[in-house]
Every structure is written in C-alpha cells, then in structure tokens.
Chain A
C-alpha cells in the first residue's frame, strides 16, 4: 500500500471539428499540403482581424453541457502573449477570467466503482500553427512551420486535481473521448492531434498538496497511463528516500516509458493576459443554450445504463457496445428488428467484432444489416443451421456480402436432423473408436463428449447436436446391456 496519495489533474485540448477555423473562413481539414489553408487572419498579417465562428461556440456549449457544466451568459476573450514562430500574432486568443463553461463533472466507472471527477472550466481558444523541426528539437538547425492548423478551434477542459490513480485518469479520458464523439464536436483522434492532454501530478502524505509536476508529450491514452504510473512510482521513491520533488515540466519518452525533466517552472512565462479588444464579450442568450441542451444526444453513460436495463446486457457488453454511437445504433437496430437483443449482442461481440478487428473495418462498412440478421436468426430458430455453423455463416456473409440463406444453400450447410442418417454415422464412430467405447462402458461417461465431437466432425458440424447426443447415448447404453 502506497502511503503517499497521488493527486492528478488533467488539461485536455479538444479540437472542435467545425468546417472552418475559429476566426476566419479557412478550412480545418487535417493532413493537407502545408500552408494551403491560410489567409491574412490566421497568418496574423498586419491589419487582419478575427471574427468568431458561431459553430465553434455552439460546439463549446454542447461539450460544456455534456460535461454538466454551467454555461456562462457572458464570457470574454483574452490575449495570451508570448513569442513563438508558430504563433503568428505573437498572442493566442483564448478565454481567461470567465470561460464559456465552468464547474462541471464527469462520472466514471472503475473497478472500484463510480467516481465523480470535477471539472473546473472549459474555454474556447485558437490552435497554433505546427513547427516541424529538422531532427531533434534541441539540435535542429532550422524548422518548418505549417499554418494550416493556426486558428483551428479548441476547447480546453481543465479538471480539478480530483484524480487519484492512473487508472482513473485513463477512464476519465476514455469517457471524455466517447462524449465528444457522441456529440459529434470532435473526432477525438489523438494521433491526429484532435485530442491532446497534459497531466499534473503531485504526491503527498497529508491533505496538503505536494509539489506539482507537469508531464508533456503524451501521445496516447496508454502513454498517459504509463507516464502516470511511472511518475507516481518515481515520486514515491524520492519521497520515501527523504528527497524533495521539484516543480517542473517533464517529457515522457514513449520508447523507454520514463519521464525526463524538460524545464523547471521558475522559467515560467508571464503571459500578460488582457481582454481581446478586437472581440466584444461573448453574450449567449438563454434560449440558445436551452435549445442546444434540448438537442443533446443520449450520452455514453446514459446509453450504457439504458442498454443494461432495456436489453438486459451484461455490464461488459453494454460498455463495449456503447463505445461508439455507430456500434450502439447498429446493435439497437438489430435488437429491435430481431427481438433478440442478447443473442444479437453475443454475435456482435463475438464473430462480428472479431471480423472487424481482423479486417480493420467499421460497422457501417460491412453491410450485415437488420434483414440479414432476421434471416440468420430464422435459420437458427427453425433448426436449419446449427449454432456451430452459424458463426461460419456470419463470417462468410461479412466477407462476401451474400445473404445467410444463400450461403447455406450454396455450401449445403443445412443441419442434419434425419435420425436415420445420424444413427448411421453414430454407428460408424462407435466402430472406429473401440477404445473410447470401452472406456465409456467402464464408467468414464465424460468420454461421450469426445464421441459426439467425432460425429460432428464427420458431418462437418451439420448434425443436430441434440439428436446426435441422444442417439450416441442410446447406442452406448444398448452396448452396456
């Protein structure tokens, strides 16, 4: 048991996926040729002025509401002044004293149960351009700058230092990403920089907070978890040895899994914040916020809980199926169409997910729709196919796009229910496995499973398992007498 309690806070930058940038009409498209989506405004040319993108404000309100935050009727933009080549104006337009959203929470589920993580604020700001250094930043002799990203809208979410474990931080981020994707306000893709996270962590024995360390360069949720685990261990050991941790920024090295000191906090910038004179205060009327509130979709946790309630799914299945709205909507349409939610969930989480993972396809690409599912379940119900064959048919249908019925017909996969035919095979199997038969007769009845397997093998899985078992048992019992 760790006697030092970790305190973790997160700062998450979420790119809002509006079509155009926060203050100009340039496209926000990721991955385009460098410096092709630029104009006087996002290049910070002399005389250019910002004009606020209303869609970004709407997305900001959506996210704020989804995170149970208060939407401020009046918020202001500020300038954060600092020099950096990819910051074309020499200041970033952001929010400071009063952000668009404040004081909320997100309730996460961990192995230890539910936990409310409090959120301090959510503010809208513009992204900077992107510096591309030649080689390592410390040795780079020159750098390129791509201003396509300059002015892309961001919402920064800042949590209170409420998080106590790496596990909780991970769950918080997973749920946050799910939420932004459910809302459709961001792709949430970390590898494209649409979600970026800095973490602050300190350790303390008492209730007073320890010295805060910031960790940067966290490129995946896995990295965040690993970096936190490492950092908690590192700080614990230092404190146990009577050493003091220092207020600093550390860089996470993905390869080695350790954090390295980048700079100490004494070199902190004075950003000289002051109200942005080019933008009037952002005034939101109640009706607008109310409208957005009413148009919010069902959020991940709500959906998950409803699926457990309505479709009697297991916690694990409900969690997995609600990982995206796409998957959840697919499940729900199948569940409704077939009236068999549990079975649908089984096939979805089994064969279908396996296929998706192997082929790296998404659920919308596979075309295994309600009609096919209904047909498939009817084949099963009527006993035309066996459960074993069923999996095979799904995979085949996913691969070829053919209907289950057609596959059954083409491949002759119809279940054998003819007792005479199965009896014939049972007799063959008993003849070919005398040793197993004698073991059964000597009382080792569990060998029956092996013999049944042989029957299925001979029929390529098509024999009705109940009938096969029944006939096998009857034949063996006859031999006993």
Chain B
C-alpha cells in the first residue's frame, strides 16, 4: 500500500467539537507531502456499539473500512477511539470468515462489501513508522523551547495484542515526535492514565476526578502545555478543563494542544493556520517566540 496517500477518516468528535484538529492535521500532512483523500459522508466508526451489539459494531466499522478499500489505500484515523474500534473489527473480520460473511450480508443492503485488504493506521503511527522522524525533522523550521506533557491516551496503544504499536507500557513514539520540534517531552507521574472520557456520560464525577489527576500530575512536573493525539482526550482536558476545575475545586489553567498544532508551529505555520484561536484554555503566543 502507498505510504504517501491515505483515506482520511475524521470520525464524529473532531467535526463536532474540534475542527482545528482536522485543520492542523491537514496542514502538517500537506507539508510532508502526504495526500489525504476525504471521506465526506463516512459517519461514525461504530465504537459505541461495542457496548450495545457486536454485529452492529462490526458492520459499522466494516462499512468505514470498505470505503478505503474502494480507494485501495490504507485508512488514516485521528481519533484513538476510531483507531481501536476499526483495528479490532478489521482483525476480527479477517480472522473469522463466518462473521465476515454475516457482516457482508448486512452491508449488501447498502451496496458495500468488506474484503479485508487495507490497514487502519493512527496518524501517530503514520508519522512515526511510514514517514519517519528524519523526514519530519527536515520540515522543522522553528525550534520550540517549551516543556510538554505528552498524553498518549489508551486506544492508540491498547489492547496491545490487537493494536500492535509502540510499547504500551513505556511508549516513546509521541515523546520523540514532540522532541523533533525542539520541545522537551517531560516525564510525569502516571503518564499512561486514561482521560476518563468513556465514563463521562455514566458518571461525570469519576471522569472529572480521573482527568483532574492527570492535569495535576502534568502541572506538578512543570509542563508549559499538554499535547493530545485524540479529539476526545482533547475535549476532556481543554474544553472541559474549567468544568473539571469546578468539579474538583482545583485550578490548573494548562493549555492543551493537538499534536499537529505543535508540529505545525515548528513547521512555521501561524496560530491562525492551525486554528489555535479555537483552543479553550488561552495559549500565550510568547511561549512560542
């Protein structure tokens, strides 16, 4: 499969809550010479149906994968939730012909077919494995002198038996991708802690306490900003940071950037090019001077 062209799947959270994530991803991929093919009416990856009905989840995921299969290119996702949902469905359907046949019977109603011929990749994987640190580094024109708390999130790496990317216990891909901008990716306590997003609708208090723990750990370690690679993790830490502060009665005020915004700044893009005016926790431009 081509390593310079991907079917580009943005999922639900990005277009509804953080279009600047979409914008900044397009900017960095354009600079790196990667062609992204839009999937304008793709819809949802089916993640939530993992909690409701497995056949529906697999059929929804297979539908998304089939769109990329028609284009004969790998599928690039920017959401950890989509990453886990689609990789796991792809694996299950490739390994179980009976389930695959059942899913294809359902997809026949909408004139689609799952074949199992393409791979699903998170853009962190595309950057780290397909493009590579050296090639990205050549496009860095401005060294950033800041301390960053990296947040990998869960479904970029886990379940590792299915995802098979980086080292799930001590990952380094995102730290390395941060450091090519000149920034320092700091160590902090409980770095692999989940954002709590999945519990948000069931129990806000549990979700916000979990998210607050991470914000506290990132702040205690002296980070200037936090960086995320999932729109939902980003919404939790950025858009919901004030609500978290209110819920657990503690102030943080930590700017949270999507990784492509950080890399984009190092590539010389402006704040506006990267939609940084849309981030909820105000970012002091002087940090990046």
Genuine A/B complex: no
